[in-house]
Structure 1
Amino acid sequence: MSNIHPTAVIHAGAQLDSTVQVGPYAVIGPNVRIDAGTRIGPHVVIEGHTTIGRDNVFFQFGSIGAAPQDKKYADEPTTLEIGDRNTIREFVTFNRGTVQDAGATRMGNDNWIMAYVHLAHDCQLGSNIILANNATLAGHVHLGDWVFLGGFTSVHQFCRIGAHAMTAFTAAVSQDVPPFVTAAGNRAVPAGINSEGLKRRGFSSEQIMVIKRAYKAIYRSGLSQDEAKQQLAQMEAQTPDSAEHLRVLREFIEASARGIIR
């Protein structure tokens, strides 16, 4: 195949679309499937039961689909699933899932993953996410759509970060970060809402104002968490244009097992 560099090592059992490009010294294992238009850079290693969608770009020296860094792992056939149009930069490490959780590590579409990012086993990522250099996710972390993690952010296992949330440089996240919220510090604490990100994504000024009011109810009003959730429910009824965003915020808090950052 003219798209495959002659020094690449591709197992006969791998399934690559004829349009996939593979660079020098890349290694692709027997249970790997790669869809059309994806480009694999030099020295990338892709192994395990790994499925990669269309039009992704993998820069050089990545480790994709390696066994989870979990001492309980006993070579079960768990998976890594990557969607479409993701850009994945140098020296990343993406591990497969474990049978103790979903059995799969998953990434959606249109994500921008910078150098040295680590995705541990069973992480579940949505779409349109940006992970800046050296962001590190421990096992079982969930990221909603449009999340932005600043450089050197570290996220504790089992934490969830809601849609449109953002972390500052070197944030250390040990509890859940609600949707729309900006987190900063070690340990990470709330630092307002991601107003600029919401503007860029087409949220109206009124919707952003309502989200700010919701943030104040949760973090600045002195209300208990139960009282704040009640206030959010009242705001949903009073602001139909923002009701969906408030519902997502309220339900995220209600479902939090680790508790939200305070």
Structure 2
Amino acid sequence: MSVKPAGTRWYNAVWRWHFYAAMLCVPFVLWLATTGAIYTWKPQIEAWIDRPYDHLAVAAPVGADAQVAAALRAVPGSRLHKYTLPEAPGQAVRIIVATGGDETLAYVDPATAKVLKTVPVESQLMRVIFHLHGDLLVGDPGSYLVELAACWAVVMILTGLYLWWPRGGTGLAGIVYPRLRGGRRLFWRDLHAVSGIWVSLLALGLILTGLPWAKAWGSYFAAARQVTGTADGPVDWPTGPRPPASARCWATMPTTKA
């Protein structure tokens, strides 16, 4: 009975981890890539959806109190949460009102205080895409599942790099840049391999920079800020439960859509 060398057993073990990690995470990676790509176009998509409310007749606006009162009447029993001034003449005022824990966005004509449209904030298309990307529309369990898939994607990338990395000590040629003098076949092989290396590093960067927005990793980063004394001000990623409704009432000036 032959015994495989330790190096061969280790290589086979890494290959199995790579295979299992890919089976677990690739469907989620494709899902996250698709929803994330859609969300990248958020300003353009929202501008297209809101176009009926961004080309109104230009006239002297009524007071902000009248606009807010109209939005509150459109959603009985609500209270003001957010008032956003138009970015340009002819645009509707965006007013968010809330009843209990539910928020509603009202588009109000600034010249007449007429409510043009109301829509639940969480029912807006880009909010649905946001939740599809972050928690699969199932809340915290979905967020943990996405986070787990992202961690397995890291395992897949690192084990894949280990399996592919040349062991012949030929330098960086064919690894970080293609060899140009080895013939056409070698060039195209290197081009494929080198592209894979850089794409893997980019994917690793995307995953690691996205993890602070995940449930568990976000909490870990917040705890690290406490330990290192860098917790002044709010975190840049949402973690934990949402603050009480009474603490989320504000008004904003126009912001540039980007």
Q: TM (normalized to structure 2)?
A: 0.25
The structure having more radius of gyration, on CA atoms, is: 2
> Higher strand proportion, which one?
1
> Higher helix proportion, which one?
2
Q: TM (normalized to structure 1)?
A: 0.25
